[in-house]
Amino acid sequence: MFHIEKTEYQLGAYINGLDLTKSVSDEDFNNLYKALSENEVLFFRDQNISHADHRRIASAFGSMQTHPAYPTIEGYPEITVLENDEDNPSKIEEWHTDMTFKKNPPLGSILIGKIIPETGGDTLFSSLSKAYDDLSQDWKMKLENMNAIHSFEFGFKESLAEEGGRERLAQALKENPPVSHPIIKKHPVTGRKIIYVNKLFTSHIEGDDESGSILKFLFEHIHQDKYQCRFSWENNSIAFWDNRSVLHKPVNDYWPQLRRMERITIES
């Protein structure tokens, strides 16, 4: 049986006393899933897991996705490699929820730090359920039946603008046309309502004015410090976040140091 230690923030918890290199019992799995839904992001330290361990853990929670825009591990196509340094800086600077450009976005992601810079490289998480709770009743009613458009093309516009970018990502563009999602969603486990927009993939709100004032208001609201949690990485640390209820954002302040992360994204 593991121990749950909540962070000092409005979201997030550390999982202590669980060795992920070993099989997880049904009881621990059920408690982990409950803890993920309730705390929205879980953190683990000193987990020297193999690629096979990573896949085994993720597959217990659901089918695994591949990502159309990132390299993967040979023999493990579900493990996405996120490796950046001065010569290959990250293009992701915005708050986002993973892959909302899909009709059925993922349940969550399990990210492990393989090479961590001596300084910098933290990840920020923000609770979309806490942000919803703080909306006025008028805003809650206004947003209840509104939809927003999420787009792969919008989210990867920098990559597409590179030389050969449209050719390299042509299949991904074809397979991921823009999709519409309700702005207000209900979490399938907790029943909590969340604000389902993000600055990386949400291009616009249907029915918004020309200036996009509703979307601008929502971005300002959900990015407030009071909803956030900051995680400082160490080698073999893991973050497992609930993609149905949180935003996240890398802090790209570690150049010219190398940062290598490996991630599996789990289908909902």
Residues forming the active site:
96, 98, 248, 263
In terms of Cα–Cα distance, which of 65, 158, 58 is closest to 104? 65
Maximum CA extent, the chain: 54
Strands (E), 184-258: 184-186, 193-195, 202-205, 228-231, 238-242, 246-250
What does the alpha-carbon distance between residue 117 and residue 220 come to, in Å, rounded to a whole number?
Answer: 30
**Look-up of token digits 């060795």:** 19
What does the alpha-carbon distance between residue 161 and residue 184 come to, in Å, rounded to a whole number?
Answer: 32
Strands 123-127 and 246-250: antiparallel
What does the alpha-carbon distance between residue 5 and residue 3 come to, in Å, rounded to a whole number?
Answer: 6
